[in-house]
Amino acid sequence: MSRKWIYIDVNVLYYFFTAHPKYGEGSRELIKNYAGRLATSALTAWLLYVLTRNEEVVEAVRDLTTLLPLDAEVLNRARSLAKPRDFEDRIHLATMQIYGIDTILSNDGDFDNAGVHRIPPRAK
């Protein structure tokens, strides 16, 4: 039996790594609850590096998640999607579609009308 992946968005990981005052604890809970099942795009690791300038964060993302490739298939699928509005979010949605993932841990409401189930982090 294969495990069912849960996609984790950049914002949840960012809140976790930066101990965000409002969403840090809720993000930690989500990561703990879905440990061993988390997947995200390689784009996430790069974005977290850009946001934090900390290579150890990239290592931690690799340890916490299964990193899925950002390749031509993902980019082509993302370009064909009408929603979400932001191209970065369409890359995440395209990755989810290609890998058969239907649930995302995210604080981004743009995923609410994108055909996936969104679980936001609990606010403090």
The binding site for Mg(2+) consists of 9, 89
Task: Give SS3 for 48.
Answer: helix
Q: Which residues are annotated as a binding site?
A: 9, 89
- 113/124 Cα distance (integer angstroms): 25
| Residues paired with residue 68 on neighbouring β-strands, in sequence order | 41
CB-count burial class (<10 Å; 0-12, 13-18, 19+) for 6: buried
